[in-house]
A and B are shown apart, each in its own frame.
Chain A
Amino acid sequence: MPRVMSATATEEVTGRALKKQLRQAERLKKIKALALVLPLVIFLLLVFVQPISTMLARSVDNSELMEVMPQTAAAISDWTGEGLPSEAVMAAFAEELQTSRRGGGLGRVGRRLNYEDPGFRGLLMRTLRRLPDEPAAAWQTVLPELDPAWGETSTWQAIQRAASPTTDRYWLAAVDRERSSSGEVQPVAEEQQVYLSVFERTLVIAGSVTLLCLLLGFPLAYLLATLPTGTSNLLMIFVLLPFWTSLLVRTASWIVLLQTGGVINGGLMGLGLIDEPLQLVFNRFGVLVAMVHILLPFMILPLYSVMKGISPSYQRAAISLGCHPFAAFWKVYVPQTISGVAAGTLLVFIMALGYYITPALVGGASDQMVSYYVAYYTNTTNNWGMAAALGSLLLVVTLVLYLVYHRLVNQQQLARS
């Protein structure tokens, strides 16, 4: 008996050891697998998740005043917003105004407060120049003497609005809305309304470009896929050659071709077809021509790769069974290309949404798209909150459209199968 006992015990022991070994081996495998994906995960975090989260965070960020003038921000948040804030608030503000000039903090606060009122930076500057080290009386009397603006409730209300950690002003501004002094959301003055129409215009331009690319690209891709290899390779080079040329060069050459004294107008006038040169560039027409030209390869390549894999025998079978050639093409061939069409249109549409330099160069003032304003706020005025809000809104719009599109394409494919 003891022998048997010990045998089972040994078995148990080896069993446990085996399990342990197995677990270890599995863990090692898991670690190895993880190590293999790790570079990708890090890459995604760094170039995808991190920048987009930063952008989203920036679009609601309101931390300028809190960081540069923490005491003022803390003190003014308790103020009721009526009359003038207490002496403690004003004293904290006066002190922090002095110290904030070192290290660039004042610039950030000035920029932030200038969004509330365009004269704010000038007010801070004037005040700083005259600010005494030690007040002769209470700051509540000294500050309004330095500049009457400090005696007005609205000035301090603006500071209070800038003191909370987050703000919805950029998002509201991106859809032409603002908060009134009582805090209600209202449309901005009519002559300042611009972004809703810019978003609409961006979608219209991107949509038109996608449609035109599809109309031009589909027959061409079909031709490429059906021609003998030698000829189709030659044609493929014509498609790819502009693809390798710099975007700026292609845009600039369209200006040369389309301008009033350009090649196309000259040719048409030489043929006697027109008397006056046509306005072909610096308007919507020019934007569409240049963008379609630049984005066409992105439509042709996915279409071509799908069409190349479609066997011609299905269409032949349909025709041999008595189907009209066009009906055979439409009902048998086209549905097989749907994944290529879906990929091509999606690619072109999303790229077109973000277009910036082409509309800036060949478009008029009413052809500028959202990214033009993002660039303007980022580079020219350093209003990154506004740039981030416009960018985030574009991202949201794109995602929603993508989901709707995905649904539609899937439903179609489901219906077919």
Chain B
Amino acid sequence: MLKTKKTSRFNLPALAAAGTLASGLLLASTAQAFTVISFGGASGEAMQKAYYGPFQEQTEAELIPGDYNGALSRIRAMVETGNVSWDLVEVESPELVRGCFEGMFEIVDWERLGLENQLIDAAVEECGVGTFVWSTVMAYDADRLDEAPQTWADFWNVEKFPGTRGLRKGAKYTLEFALMADGVPADEVYDVLRTSAGVDRAFAKLDELKDHIQWWEAGAQPPQWLVAGDVVMSSSYNGRIAAAQEEGQNLAIAWQGSVYDLDYWAIVSGSDHVDTAYDFIRFASQAENQAVYASEIPYGPVNPDAIAELSSEQAARMPTADANLEGALAMDTAFWVDYGEELEQRFNAWASKL
């Protein structure tokens, strides 16, 4: 441990690497450095640039980044055996709810963190702090439609916008969109969906559109179908549409009625670096750092002030831009964790009947 600290103070990359290696070999039994686990990929690179690097420079704390596939099983094993080598993990919202329920994550002391009023409401959870927002939106090919569809009611309007529509093969998102198309305001969607009459209403609305739906399975499909002209509009993850836009496709997004969800930081229960984790979360939630992340990848910052630091073009692509949040719906994770199976089964039964 001493060796590691010394090398990081000299800040010589080679020595630090050697030190990390040595500590990795030596520290099978003693405490390890602060370890942050994300989903990796393009998002992980953006995190390295926006959070990991600057945090290490500023605090001189040693940070070991890593990635995983989002499955809770490994974290569960760590907590159960008391051998916690991951300190802070990025989790998706259903895993946050499940993990929190099982006691796998530390309960966040929001007073100590002192961020509560700086972040959007959905970022504040019992066991997690939101880090970015992604959204399921309505997308269309602007070259093919004369008039831009605005709402889910337009999506259902096959007279005005003839053609096939793409929706995700599953109940999640689809039922929310159906209710909004049926005139339910965004903030009442889950209240309606919790009643069996509301579920019937959503399926009745889906019946209207059934013959015009092409169901997608993978997130890469909607932009590809839109470009190929298979569908005139489709629900899609906003990041996928942004990537297609960067490739020069004239795809557009209607943000009205989009359903957004967050990825969270969660501190693994029994971590030795809770203090550092709090420092890191505080650091990663600052507007300027969030802006760096969001400029790398089109996921929305949870700190609304970060939007101001982005170029207007970048800001318009963020799910958390003011204009985009209007009429948007925060996904109710607890609802889907509880009712997901029942509704998915009903969706499958419905979809099988032609």
Residues of A participating in the B interface, judged by any CB pair closer than 8 Å = 101-107, 110, 114-115, 118-119, 121-122, 124-125, 191-194, 197-198, 201, 259-262, 282, 360-361, 364-366, 368, 373, 376, 380-381, 383
CB-defined contacts of B338 to chain A, threshold 8 Å: 114, 118-119, 121-122
| Listed A/B pairs (6) with beta-carbon separation below 8 Å | A121-B101, A259-B225, A361-B218, A366-B354, A380-B340, A383-B341
How far is it, in angstroms, between the C-alpha of A121 and the C-alpha of B337 when the chains are bound?
A: 9
Report the minimum CB–CB distance from A24 to chain B (whole Å): 50
Of A107, A118, A368, the contact of B348 (CB 8 Å cutoff): A368
> Chain B residues with Cβ under 8 A from A368's Cβ?
348, 352
A104 CA to B164 CA in the complex, in Å?
Answer: 45
Question: Could you tell me the dominant secondary structure of chain A's interface residues?
Answer: helix
Contact A104 B354 (CB under 8 A): no
- Count residues on chain B whose CB falls below 8 Å from chain A CBs: 36
Q: How far is the CA of A376 from the CA of B102 in the complex (A)?
A: 22
Chain B window 74-110, contacts with chain A (Cβ cutoff 8 Å), 1 for yes, 0 for no: 0010011000000000000000001001111000000
Complex Cα spacing A88 to B229, Å: 66
Q: With an 8 A cutoff between CB atoms, is B147 at the interface?
A: no
B349 partner residues in chain A, CB cutoff 8 A: 191-194
Task: Please indicate the chain B residues that have their CB under 8 angstroms from the CB of A282 in the complex.
Answer: 214-215
**Contact among A104, A114, A194 with B103 in the assembled complex (CB-CB below 8 Å):** A104
By the criterion CB–CB under 8 Å, are A259 and B352 in contact? no
B79, B80, B102, B215 interface centre (most CB from chain A within 10 Å): B102
| A66→B345 CA distance, assembly (Å) | 28
**Interface majority SS (helix, strand, loop, mixed), chain B:** helix
A191 to B345, CA, bound (A): 9
- Judge whether B169 is part of the interface by a CB distance below 8 angstroms: yes
State which residues 298-354 of B face A: CB under 8 Å: 334, 337-342, 344-346, 348-354
Does A104 contact B79, Cβ atoms closer than 8 Å? yes
Min CB–CB distance A152 → chain B (angstroms)? 18
Q: In this complex, what residue of A is CB-closest to B352?
A: A366
Contacts A201-B352, A366-B351 hold; do A104 and B104 have CB atoms under 8 A apart? yes
Give A98 Cβ to nearest chain B Cβ, in Å.
11
In the complex, the answer to whether B334 meets A365 with C-beta atoms within 8 Å is no
Q: Does B203 contact A (CB under 8 A)?
A: yes
Complex CA gap A32/B234 in Å reads: 66
On chain B, the residues within 8 Å of A124 by CB distance are 101
Interchain nearest-CB distance for B241 vs A (Å)? 19
Using a CB-CB cutoff of 8 Å, which residues 149-198 of chain B contact chain A? 164, 169
Q: Which residues of B contact A260 (CB under 8 A)?
A: 164, 228-230
A84 to B185, CA, bound (A): 41
B203 partner residues in chain A, CB cutoff 8 A:
191
CB pair A259 B351 closer than 8 Å: no
B104 contacts A365, CB within 8 Å?
Answer: no
Q: How far is the CA of A185 from the CA of B350 in the complex (A)?
A: 23
Is the beta-carbon distance between A110 and B215 smaller than 8 angstroms? no
Interface assignment of B217: CB less than 8 Å from any CB of chain A: yes
Give the distance to chain B from A199, nearest Cβ to Cβ, in Å. Answer: 11
New contact pairs (15) apart from A121-B338, A365-B169, CB-CB < 8 Å: A101-B103, A104-B80, A106-B102, A118-B338, A118-B339, A119-B338, A121-B337, A192-B346, A193-B349, A261-B230, A282-B215, A364-B214, A364-B215, A366-B352, A376-B344
Contact of B80 among A103, A262, A365 (CB under 8 A): A103
Cβ distance A384 to chain B, nearest Cβ, rounded Å: 12
A-side contacts of B218, CB under 8 Å? 361
Q: In the bound complex, what is the Cα–Cα distance between A104 and B82 (angstroms)?
A: 12
**Neighbouring B residues of A102 by C-beta, 8 Å:** 103
> Would B101 and A259 count as touching, CB distance under 8 A?
no
Q: Would you call A261 and B341 a contact (CB within 8 A)? A: no
The chain B residue with its CB closest to the CB of A103 is: B80
CB neighbours (8 Å) of A361 from chain B are 217-218
With a CB–CB cut-off of 8 A, which chain B residues contact A198?
348, 352
Q: Is the CB of A104 within 8 A of B340?
A: no
Q: How far is the CA of A173 from the CA of B47 in the complex (A)?
A: 44
Docked complex Cα distance between A366 and B213 (Å): 12
> In the complex, what distance in Å separates the CA atom of A261 from the CA atom of B101?
47
Bound Cα distance from A259 to B216, whole angstroms: 13
Instruction: Check A191–B102 contact: CB distance below 8 A.
Output: no
Of A106, A107, A110, A259, most buried by chain B (CB within 10 Å of CB) is A107
B98 touches A365 (CB 8 A): no
Interfacial chain B residues near A192, Cβ < 8 Å:
342, 345-346, 349
Residues of B within 8 A of A381 (CB): 340-341, 344
Q: Which among A101, A201, A261, A373 is the interface contact of B228 at CB below 8 angstroms?
A: A261
Which residues of chain A come closer than 8 Å to B76, judged between CB atoms? 104
Across the interface, B352 reaches (CB within 8 A) one of A114, A119, A197, A261, namely A197
Of B104, B225, B348, B354, the contact of A194 (CB 8 Å cutoff): B348
**Chain A contacts for B339, CB-based, 8 A:** 118
CB distance from B351 to the nearest CB of A (A): 3
Asked if A118 contacts B80 (CB within 8 A), the reply is: no
Which residues in A have their C-beta under 8 angstroms from that of B229?
260-261
Give 10 nearest A-B pairs by CB, closest first. A365-B351, A107-B102, A194-B349, A261-B228, A101-B103, A260-B230, A104-B102, A261-B229, A365-B215, A366-B352
| Given the contacts A104-B80, A114-B338, A194 and B352 also touching, CB distance less than 8 Å | yes
**Chain A neighbourhood of B164, CB < 8 A:** 260
B207 to chain A: closest CB distance in Å? 12
A191, A360, A365, A368 interface centre (most CB from chain B within 10 Å): A365
Q: Are B340 and A259 in contact (CB under 8 A)?
A: no
Asked, given contacts A282-B214, A364-B215, A366-B351, whether A125 binds B101 with beta carbons under 8 Å apart, the answer is yes
Beyond A104-B80, A376-B344, whether A365 also contacts B352 by CB under 8 A is: yes
